[in-house]
Amino acid sequence: MSALRSGGGFSRQRRIEAAAIHVAGLSLLAVAGACAAGLAVELIYRDDQWEPLLLSTGAIGALGAVMWRTTRLRTTGAGTRDALQAVGVSWLAISVAGAVPFVVAGVLRWDLALFESVSGFTGTGSTVLSPIEGNTHGLLFYRQMTQWVGGMGVVVLAVAVLPFLGVGGLELFRAESPGPTSDQLVPRISDTARRLWGIYCALTAVATLVLLAAGMTLYDAVSHAATGLGTGGFSPYNDSISHFDSATVEAGVIFAMFLGSVKFPLYYMAFKGRDLRVFWRASEFRFFVAILLASTAFITLLNRSMGVPTALRGAAFNVVSLISSCGFGTDDFTLWVPAAQIVLLFLMVTGAMAGSTSGALKLFRVQVAGKHAWREIKRVRRPNGVYPIHLGRDPIPEDTVRSVLGYVMFYFVVAVGSIVVLSLLGADLPTSSGSVVTAMGGVGPGLGVAGPASNFLVFDGWQRFVLIFLMLLGRLEIYPLILFVLPVSAAVRRSSKRSRRRRGSTDGGDRLVRVGAD
């Protein structure tokens, strides 16, 4: 309601109250950080292309700092709409800012650079940089870092850093963090965000060590650990992981991707309780492992004509790579039998566990939707039966089920609509469906002509813009972007107002009172 300021009269505020700009400014600082990391690598490798990176770091950092320092959060904490706005503005800002180094370095035109940047921050990994290897270490490392930063989320980072975000922080956290449930680990949301980032850094370090042990150089290990944990899938090599042509490296990368697709709060609980059984106790984890094994086995079976060991190696790597929405490539799976490709397509839709860095629907939602479908069949048999949905021990509250189903349906409708649009823009069905699914899920490679051996230069300008939109949509889990970008927001407000008026404004009024009481 009101803030206390000391030592003064009722003067004008020094900082402008604009939560969105404030958070976006911090996010830009994160981008500048990624840039600076690239700059450092550039200097270490003496690739002589440090000016663009320095320029970008400076420019983005300065802009971010200005935006951050001249604004402030609303003192009462952000409401839902503020949070959505902040997340939307932040992501637009980092998308644009992230493109700057590519443009300044002169390797990509602005629209391609924007695609690359969005693909980076959303952890997608579809690339329009071709060839990749011609570029300097610094720029490529920056490209890797965009995925690492975007993997856990810049806004989550902001929540972790901002000292007294309080209530609004939770809204922000929810709006950006992947998954339907944001498990709060500790009472304070900023502490939770800090712990998540801590786990993330620790896991990245572990993955780096594993990759080093598997025979990578330090640079490669850090690069791939970052994009593996962030389940992004960028690689500094044209051939991605097949560059190394080593089963050991592949196993190491599989490990990294697996780490990134497990629900992060589970690590915290396991660490805190010194008990590894928490993983197995999570129904979603068991489901995840079951799907991994089943799909790998099935695809190996389908591809048995290549010889079982080869088929198994390819299947294992690509199943993990696609379900984790990472998108590293070894084999060109567009050459596999169609059935295997369809299975992969569905893995790209399901994604891995909620609360991990992976994208797409998340298995938690898939489980809930599947169980709901099944219980509706049971209800047909016994219309008066009461069938709560259980995951593990606890029944899931019906309003969670409702919102999960809503999201699944939204995802499905958006995907189908986009496939139609992309097809009408000239792509064939495998390409359009593959690229829509891969963009929404943040995976990377698609099917058809946009497979792992190809890149997204096969799309023309408009198609690429659709895909950019889809990547952001999928990463932010649809609602923030839709409510922020589209005028739907206004329509929704109007229609809800209308329905509220019809019902005599009880609930709406209550909400207002609540907000005011904060």
Partner 1 sequence: MSTSARSKGVGVFDGRRDFGSFISRGRFESPVGFVIGLAILACGTLALGAALIGVVTDGRQVGRFLELALLWGIVGGLLSSQCRVPLRLRSSTAFVGVLAVWLTFVTVSVLTYETLGTFEHLDDSFFESMSGFTTTAATVVPDPEALSRATLLWRAGTQWLGGLTALLFVVAILPSIGVGGLDVTVAGQRYSGTSLRSRRTVSLLEHLLGLYVSLTGAGIVLFLIGGMGPFDALTYAATTISSGGFANHAGSFGHFESTTIEWAGFGGMVLGGANMALLWAAVRGGVRPLWRSFELRAYLTVIVVGGVVIALTTAPDGGLTHESVRRAFFHVASAASTTGHFVGGWGGWDMGPQVLLLAIMGVGAMSGSTGGGFRLVRALALVGYLRRELVLQLHPRAVTPVRVGRRTVSDELVSRMIGYQAQYLVVAALGAIAVAALGGELVTSISAAISSVANVGPGLADLAPGQGGVLVLARPARAALVPLMLLGRLEIAPVLVGVAVGASSLSRAVRSTVVK
Partner 2 sequence: MYVIVVGAGEVGTYVADRLSREGHDVAVIERDRAALRDVQERLDVLTLLGSGTNPEVLREAGVDRAEMIVAVTSQDEVNLVCCLVGKQAGISRTVCRLEDPDLRSRKSSALHEAMGVDLIIDPDYETAQEILELLEYPGASEVAEMAGGEVVVIGAKLGADAPIVGRSLIDIAAEYEPEWDFLFGVITRGDETIIPRGAVVLQADDLVRVLCKRRARRQLMKILGLARRAPRRIMLLGGGRTAELVASTLDQRGSEVVIVERNPDRATELAGRLGGTLVLKGEITDADLLEESEVGTFDAVLALTGEDDANILACLYAKLAGAKETIAVVHRLSLLPLLSEAGIDVALSPRTASANGVLRFVRGDVSAVATFLQGEVEVIELEVKEGSPADGGIVAELRLPKDVLVGAFVRDGKAQIARGRSELRERDHVVLFSMPGSVSDVRRVFG
List contacts with partner 1 (CB under 8 A): 80-81, 84, 302, 337-339, 341-343, 346, 369-370, 372-373, 375-377, 379-381, 383-384, 402-403, 405-410, 412-413, 416, 419-420, 423-430, 432-433, 447, 479, 482-483, 488-489, 492-493, 495-496, 499-500, 503, 507-508, 510-511
With respect to partner 1, which residue has the nearer C-beta, 247 or 492? Answer: 492
The contacts of residue 421 (CB under 8 Å, 6+ apart) are 466
Identify the CA nearest to 88 among candidates 419, 360, 469: 469
With respect to partner 2, which residue has the nearer C-beta, 148 or 264? Answer: 264
Select from partner 1, partner 2, none the partner in contact with residue 187, using the beta carbon and a kind-dependent cut-off of 5 to 8 Å.
Answer: partner 2
The contacts of residue 481 (CB under 8 Å, 6+ apart) are 88, 91, 469, 472, 473
SS (H, E, C) 361-375: CCHHHHHHHHHHHHH
Select from partner 2, partner 1, none the partner in contact with residue 406, using the beta carbon and a kind-dependent cut-off of 5 to 8 Å.
Answer: partner 1
CB of 210 to partner 1, least distance (A): 33
Q: Which amino acid is at 361?
A: L
With respect to partner 2, which residue has the nearer C-beta, 159 or 439? Answer: 159
Select from partner 2, partner 1, none the partner in contact with residue 404, using the beta carbon and a kind-dependent cut-off of 5 to 8 Å.
Answer: none
With respect to partner 1, which residue has the nearer C-beta, 84 or 193? Answer: 84
Alpha-carbon span 298 to 279, nearest angstrom: 25
With respect to partner 2, which residue has the nearer C-beta, 170 or 360? Answer: 170
CB of 406 to partner 2, least distance (A): 17
- What is the distance, to the nearest Å, from the Cα of residue 439 to the centroid of all Cα atoms in its chain? 11
Select from partner 2, partner 1, none the partner in contact with residue 373, using the beta carbon and a kind-dependent cut-off of 5 to 8 Å.
Answer: partner 1
With respect to partner 2, which residue has the nearer C-beta, 189 or 262? Answer: 189
The contacts of residue 505 (CB under 8 Å, 6+ apart) are none
With respect to partner 1, which residue has the nearer C-beta, 390 or 493? Answer: 493
Select from partner 1, partner 2, none the partner in contact with residue 409, using the beta carbon and a kind-dependent cut-off of 5 to 8 Å.
Answer: partner 1
Residue numbers at the binding site for partner 2 (CB under 8 A): 1-10, 164-167, 169-170, 184, 186-191, 397, 513-514, 516-518
Select from partner 1, partner 2, none the partner in contact with residue 505, using the beta carbon and a kind-dependent cut-off of 5 to 8 Å.
Answer: none
Q: Which amino acid is at 424?
A: L
Spatial contact of 348 and 467, defined as CB atoms under 8 Å apart: no
Select from partner 2, partner 1, none the partner in contact with residue 160, using the beta carbon and a kind-dependent cut-off of 5 to 8 Å.
Answer: none
CB of 363 to partner 2, least distance (A): 23
With respect to partner 2, which residue has the nearer C-beta, 41 or 170? Answer: 170
**What is the helix (H) or strand (E) element at residue 17, kind and residue range?**
strand 16-17
CB of 6 to partner 2, least distance (A): 4
CB of 186 to partner 2, least distance (A): 7
Alpha-carbon span 271 to 267, nearest angstrom: 6
CB of 79 to partner 2, least distance (A): 10
Residue 455 backbone phi and psi in degrees, to 5 = -145, 180
Alpha-carbon span 212 to 225, nearest angstrom: 10
CB of 448 to partner 1, least distance (A): 8
Select from partner 2, partner 1, none the partner in contact with residue 164, using the beta carbon and a kind-dependent cut-off of 5 to 8 Å.
Answer: partner 2
With respect to partner 2, which residue has the nearer C-beta, 23 or 145? Answer: 23
Select from partner 1, partner 2, none the partner in contact with residue 419, using the beta carbon and a kind-dependent cut-off of 5 to 8 Å.
Answer: partner 1
Backbone Cα Rg of the chain: 23
Burial of 16 (0-12, 13-18, 19+ CB in 10 A): exposed
Spatial contact of 1 and 76, defined as CB atoms under 8 Å apart: yes
HSE-up of 159 (CA within 13 Å, CB side)? 32
Q: Which tokens go with 241? A: 């992981």
With respect to partner 2, which residue has the nearer C-beta, 70 or 80? Answer: 80
With respect to partner 2, which residue has the nearer C-beta, 137 or 174? Answer: 174
CB of 167 to partner 2, least distance (A): 5
Alpha-carbon span 352 to 323, nearest angstrom: 6
Select from partner 1, partner 2, none the partner in contact with residue 66, using the beta carbon and a kind-dependent cut-off of 5 to 8 Å.
Answer: none
For 391, which DSSP code?
E
Residue 274 backbone phi and psi in degrees, to 5 = 50, 50
CB of 77 to partner 2, least distance (A): 8
Cross-strand pairs, 17:
72
Select from partner 2, partner 1, none the partner in contact with residue 343, using the beta carbon and a kind-dependent cut-off of 5 to 8 Å.
Answer: partner 1
The structure tokens 């019809």 sit at 502
Alpha-carbon span 254 to 322, nearest angstrom: 11
CB of 403 to partner 2, least distance (A): 12
Burial of 125 (0-12, 13-18, 19+ CB in 10 A): buried
In the chain, the largest separation of any two C-alpha atoms, in whole Å, equals 82
CB of 188 to partner 2, least distance (A): 6
Select from partner 2, partner 1, none the partner in contact with residue 455, using the beta carbon and a kind-dependent cut-off of 5 to 8 Å.
Answer: none
Burial of 491 (0-12, 13-18, 19+ CB in 10 A): exposed
CB of 175 to partner 2, least distance (A): 13
With respect to partner 1, which residue has the nearer C-beta, 46 or 81? Answer: 81
The structure tokens 């004008």 sit at 12
